[in-house]
């Protein structure tokens, strides 16, 4: 078990190593938030910038540390006042990777997504509650029809369903009809955010908010970063963030 009192500074390697020793992602996110809340804003900004910049290229500890930071911010574990202070410190020090990581957006749920909808044309429209119940099913035909469901509650249950496959998750990640709220669920999914194919699909999906796409940059490897940085279809700020990691010092 990690001894919180033994953490005397926010040394990035020490923090990343300690986080990687914890057994699950939720615990890592909570522990990182606790450390940041107790630290000076400048030190916290530097830590997050290193985690976001090193990311996958920094090896397992840094990769795990960045995942913890993404989970922490996605679950809103870091207090608003602390986040604002860290962002100000990052701006003052020119820590762009930290600012990109901290910029979190809310993805509102379209009220129409809760309206009854039929699984197949010509059949009775199902309520949101009925669709949520079916999302726990083991039947492949039912699960595949629910992949296009617009409501995040249905998709959240699908992503947690052990019968869902990586190809199923990819269909959600690549669908141009997937909402920002649904794509955000994939980004925060412990199972599917670990898939390189899903991460690439999310980055390429124009429906993914830029703030969430920027959080994914550090989780890509060097080959993926180089390829995507040349993709003119991606937003310029996203390509700049990738080029900054491909060509340090840019």
Instruction: Give the pLDDT band (50/70/90) at residue 250.
Output: very low
Task: Compute CA distances 26 → 70, 156, 183, 231, 240, whole Å.
Answer: 11, 16, 19, 34, 30
What pLDDT was estimated at residue 201? 94
Rounded CA separation 94/90 (Å): 6
Report the pLDDT value the prediction gives residue 149, as an integer from 0 to 100: 94
Distance CA 112, CA 23 (A): 39
- Domain borders along the chain are 4-102, 111-246
Global pTM? Answer: 0.78
- Residue 86, helix vs strand vs coil: helix
| Residue pLDDT, tens place only, 152-184 | 999 999 999 999 999 999 999 999 889 999 998
The arithmetic mean of pLDDT across residues 139-147, rounded, is 94
In this structure, what token pair is assigned to residue 60?
Answer: 């397992």
* 3-state SS assignment for residue 7: coil
């Amino acid at each position: 078990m990690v001894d919180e009192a033994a953490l005397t500074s926010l040394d990035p390697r020490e923090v990343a190593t300690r986080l990687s020793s914890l057994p699950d992602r939720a615990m890592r996110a909570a522990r990182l938030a606790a450390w940041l809340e107790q630290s000076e804003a400048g030190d916290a900004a530097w830590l997050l910038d290193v985690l976001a910049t090193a990311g996958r290229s920094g090896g397992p500890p840094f990769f795990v540390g960045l995942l913890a930071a993404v989970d922490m911010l996605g679950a809103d574990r870091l207090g608003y006042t602390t986040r604002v202070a860290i962002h100000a410190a990052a701006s003052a020090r020119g820590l762009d990777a930290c600012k990109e990581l901290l910029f979190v957006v809310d993805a509102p749920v379209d009220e129409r997504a809760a309206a009854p909808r039929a699984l197949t044309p010509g059949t009775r429209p199902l309520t949101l509650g009925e669709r949520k119940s079916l999302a726990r099913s083991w039947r492949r035909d039912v699960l595949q029809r629910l992949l296009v469901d617009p409501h995040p509650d249905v998709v959240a249950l699908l992503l947690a369903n052990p019968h869902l496959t990586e190809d199923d998750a990819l269909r959600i990640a690549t669908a141009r009809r997937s909402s920002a709220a649904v794509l955000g669920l994939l980004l925060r999914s412990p199972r599917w955010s670990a898939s390189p194919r899903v991460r690439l699909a999310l980055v390429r999906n124009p429906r993914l908010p830029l703030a969430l796409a920027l959080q994914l940059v550090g989780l890509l490897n060097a080959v993926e970063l180089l390829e995507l940085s040349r993709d003119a279809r991606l937003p310029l700020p996203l390509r700049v963030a990738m080029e900054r990691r491909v060509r340090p010092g840019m």
